[in-house]
Amino acid sequence: MSAATYLISDLHLGPGRNPATGSWDALEDFTADAALSAFLDQISVAAGTSPIELIIAGDFIDYPQILPELALTSPRNARGTTEAESIERTRVVLGQLPERNSGHPLVFARLRQFMADGHSITILVGNHDIDLLWPGVWALIYAAIYPPGAAGTLRREAYSYTVGNAERGRVYIEHGHERDPENCFGERMSQPFGDDGTGMMRLKRCYGTLFVDKIYNQLEGERWFIDNVKPISKIIGLGLKNDLFYTGGALALIIKFFFTAGLPPKQLSTVLDDAETWPQGQRTPNALLGAVKDDDLRAYVEQRLTDPQVRAEFGAEIARFDEQDWREMRAGAPRQPSVETIADDKPRSVLLAAEEEDYYRAGAREVLALDPGITTVIMGHTHAAIDGLTSPIYLAGSRTGYYFNSGTWTPHLRARPGRGYSWAEIADPNNYTSSFTYLELVPNDAGEYRVELHNWAAEQPG
């Protein structure tokens, strides 16, 4: 029989604790080091002498929130950190720079022991840890986790991973960010690096990472709950409606978001191939504001730009837009959403035949249709756990498939179907919980897998 497999995702290991105070860093989202170690203890004991595989399906590490000042060194919005900068961030999360932050050495030590016990680990790359694709970064992670001579394997997958080799019953896994217009890098993560215009190679930076680098990190230091609101569009909408303070540079990026929010994920769209670019003579603050459709948004930005400093920051950020930015803005401007629309809870969707599905479930349907041997698709990214057995995907030829989401190990708002949260309620710690959801991939004698969603926190006695 094939090995049992366990899957977790979206841990978002960050800088750890502040060495001066001993308290968690303001940008840290993962505080479950002990819980994760106990979880690994439990599945190891349950396995007995049988080797098992642990899959971490993306966003294992939250690089943008480690040494955030490094993100501001890039001369281009479309490029992030250098390999050397990503290596420095990696040393922090590994606990090798305790004078900066504690990192999470307990987690890496426990993963190393997991492998020493004969098990395997597979790490998929997500939008928050694309840094893992740097050779120097992966060398550090590999050295921290893999004990020489271990029987199991430690592998890194840039985009997707399939469990099983049977004719049917295989499980396809990807993080899911490439289905998300805000966090899509394109090319299925096959070309993660690019020249920043000065001859320096840097990571590609999607809009979501840029938003974290230039907006989230500043705001989260003031409002701890900001990073717990998903997706980015919702925090933009709620922030504007509740008069959240945005810098001039942030306002320019928000305007760009409104102009491009109607575009589908880049890898699914051909609209930009031959699209006209934004006219050179209209690349000014006043021209951009004149193209904003939402009256409330335009009025808000106009009022903020009466401050000379804010206007200067706004203009400086516009000057950083490259031709790809302008082309995307020109293509998407006719389909701008309203502030009210992006502040709601409804995920963006596509219409497939007569059925409307969000981008992730639609992507799962696509994967299932292309390979009849795959019966289950797993993604993470959204932080919302989904039990695929409760809502099957019906396919041609009487086939049935399943889409699961593995959830997150970071605190998140409690599910409240039918009613969203107000701004004040989002700021209330009592409305948050940590579920520690995971998926168990259970094989049968034929090598086919059945997937089960579990809540580790709920499974503990007491």
Mean pLDDT along residues 302-311? 94
Residues 313, 171, single domain; the answer is no
Does residue 273 sit within a domain?
yes
Residue carrying structure tokens 């004698």: 445
Residues 179, 248, single domain; the answer is no
For residue 228, pLDDT over 80 is answered with no
- Residue 351: predicted pLDDT: 54
Measured between alpha carbons, how far is 24 from 17 in angstroms, rounded to an integer? Answer: 4
Domain that holds residue 237: 232-342
For residue 17, pLDDT over 80 is answered with yes
Residues 108, 252, single domain; the answer is no
Does residue 336 sit within a domain?
yes
Measured between alpha carbons, how far is 17 from 29 in angstroms, rounded to an integer? Answer: 11
Structure tokens given for 407: 């959830």
Does residue 202 sit within a domain?
no
Residues 166, 52, single domain; the answer is yes
- Residue 273: predicted pLDDT: 59
Does residue 210 sit within a domain?
no
Residues 389, 437, single domain; the answer is yes
In the listed set 292, 324, 342, which residue is the last one of a domain according to the structure?
342
Indicate the SS3 state at residue 155: strand
Mean pLDDT along residues 32-51? 95
Does residue 219 sit within a domain?
no
Domain count for the chain: 2
Residues 83, 19, single domain; the answer is yes
Measured between alpha carbons, how far is 44 from 35 in angstroms, rounded to an integer? Answer: 14
CATH number at residue 416: 3.60.21
Residues 290, 152, single domain; the answer is no
For residue 216, pLDDT over 80 is answered with yes
Q: In DSSP terms, which residues pair with 174 in a beta bridge? A: 160
Does residue 150 sit within a domain?
yes
Measured between alpha carbons, how far is 206 from 266 in angstroms, rounded to an integer? Answer: 11
- Residue 151: predicted pLDDT: 95
Does residue 152 sit within a domain?
yes
Mean pLDDT along residues 218-246? 78
Structure tokens given for 317: 């950020």
Measured between alpha carbons, how far is 181 from 207 in angstroms, rounded to an integer? Answer: 8
Does residue 208 sit within a domain?
no
Measured between alpha carbons, how far is 210 from 205 in angstroms, rounded to an integer? Answer: 6
Residues 41, 83, single domain; the answer is yes
Structure tokens given for 221: 């230091």
Phi, psi (deg, nearest 5) at residue 242: -110, 20
% the chain with pLDDT above 90: 72
Distances in Å between the alpha carbon of 311 and those of 238, 250, 259, 316, 451? 22, 11, 19, 9, 53
By C-alpha distance, which of 51, 82, 58 is closest to 9?
58
**H or E stretch including 370?**
helix 359-370
- Residue 332: predicted pLDDT: 87
For residue 230, pLDDT over 80 is answered with no
Q: pLDDT band for 80, please (50, 70, 90 cuts).
A: very high
Question: Is residue 231 reached through a cis peptide bond, with omega within 30 degrees of 0 on the bond before it?
Answer: yes
Higher pLDDT, 132 or 433: 132
**H or E stretch including 377?**
strand 374-379
Q: Where are the alpha helices (DSSP H) in 98-213?
A: 105-116, 135-145, 207-211
For residue 270, pLDDT over 70 is answered with no
Structure tokens given for 136: 């120097």
Mean pLDDT along residues 214-221? 83
Q: Which of 31-45, 161-175, 396-410, 422-436 bottoms out in mean pLDDT, i.e. has the lowest?
A: 422-436
Phi, psi (deg, nearest 5) at residue 167: -65, -35
Residue carrying structure tokens 């897998």: 449
Residues 303, 321, single domain; the answer is yes
Structure tokens given for 135: 């050779």
Q: Where are the alpha helices (DSSP H) in 242-293?
A: 248-260, 285-290
In the listed set 342, 361, 390, which residue is the last one of a domain according to the structure?
342
Residues 243, 338, single domain; the answer is yes
In the listed set 342, 370, 400, which residue is the last one of a domain according to the structure?
342
- Residue 268: predicted pLDDT: 46
Residues 277, 364, single domain; the answer is no
Residues 334, 360, single domain; the answer is no
Mean pLDDT along residues 384-391? 95
